[in-house]
Copies of this chain bind each other. A is one copy, B any other.
Amino acid sequence: MSGGIREQFEIDLQSIDDQLVEMTRLVGSAMARSTTALLDADLPLAESVIAADEQVDALHHDLEERALVLIARQSPVATDLRTLIAALRMSADLERMGDLARHVSKLARLRYPNSAVPAELRSYIVEMGHIAERLVLKTGTIIANRDLKAAEELEADDDEMDRIHREMFAKLLAPDWKHGVETAVDITLLSRYYERYGDHAVGVCRRVVFLVTGDHAAAHGEPVSDQL
């Protein structure tokens, strides 16, 4: 590429990175608001998350189009191409995170005016919500700054998410469970939504680690949590 084209290409790549960071902000906000809507049985808040997911979908489709146009016009090779393909996949992960946040809000809406979460499990959901916020904040930092240290911390946060996921299951299956089947089903799904949200954040970050280090195993390793 000539200097001017190269310069424009760098600007285009940066703009795609910025859009990915913006997507982390939106799906982070969506999950934070979903957690509140769930715990407070706040119907308008749940509705607003469900409606706002369109924005994330639109950003995802816009990013896909822009990346494809760049690939087609510039015929990038090696690192540039890998960066664009990685961006496409990160965008797909982020879009899915938005869906999962919306699923939480849909469950809040379904159980309104009750809360789907019994009092004794609220602290678990609060904690999963906090971890989700930390995960997605770090994901934004990792995309923006190629920050490998943050990527390591993020894996530890996700381990913590998995630990709570397992604890919730233990609670459901304990002989003294007294909240009935409907609540057990709700909690099963909710816990899985948060856990999958964490897995997709890990997926995004491993893509970045791969771009920086070329460590393919890190990029493709299955999250430990993606098991029953």
Q: Which residues of A contact B (CB under 8 A)?
A: 57, 61, 68, 71-72, 75, 77-78, 81-82, 85, 88-89, 92, 99, 103, 106-107, 110, 169, 172-173, 177, 181-182, 184-185, 188-189, 192, 220, 222, 226-228
Q: Complex: how many Å from CA A61 to CA B89?
A: 14
Q: Complex: how many Å from CA A78 to CA B185?
A: 46
In the complex the two chains form, is B189's CB within 8 Å of A181's CB? Answer: no
In the complex the two chains form, is A72's CB within 8 Å of B81's CB? Answer: yes
Of B61, B71, B169, B222, the contact of A71 (CB 8 Å cutoff)? B71
Shortest 7 CB-CB contacts between residues of A and residues of B? A75-B75, A181-B184, A106-B228, A72-B77, A185-B188, A188-B188, A173-B182
What is the CB-to-nearest-CB distance from A220 to chain B, in angstroms, rounded to a whole number?
Answer: 6
In the complex the two chains form, is A181's CB within 8 Å of B192's CB? Answer: no
Q: Complex: how many Å from CA A189 to CA B189?
A: 8
What is the CB-to-nearest-CB distance from A216 to chain B, in angstroms, rounded to a whole number?
Answer: 8
What is the CB-to-nearest-CB distance from A179 to chain B, in angstroms, rounded to a whole number?
Answer: 9
In the complex the two chains form, is A99's CB within 8 Å of B226's CB? Answer: yes
Q: Complex: how many Å from CA A82 to CA B69?
A: 10
In the complex the two chains form, is B71's CB within 8 Å of A110's CB? Answer: no
Of B57, B61, B227, the contact of A106 (CB 8 Å cutoff)? B227
In the complex the two chains form, is A177's CB within 8 Å of B181's CB? Answer: yes
In the complex the two chains form, is A68's CB within 8 Å of B82's CB? Answer: yes
What is the CB-to-nearest-CB distance from A204 to chain B, in angstroms, rounded to a whole number?
Answer: 14
In the complex the two chains form, is A85's CB within 8 Å of B99's CB? Answer: no
Of B82, B85, B188, B227, the contact of A88 (CB 8 Å cutoff)? B85
A-B contact pairs, 25 of them (CB 8 A): A57-B220, A57-B222, A68-B81, A68-B85, A71-B71, A71-B85, A72-B77, A72-B78, A72-B81, A75-B75, A75-B77, A85-B88, A89-B92, A99-B222, A99-B226, A103-B228, A107-B228, A169-B185, A172-B181, A177-B181, A181-B181, A184-B185, A188-B189, A189-B192, A192-B192
List, in ascending order, chain B residues with CB within 8 A of A228's CB. Answer: 103, 106-107, 110, 189
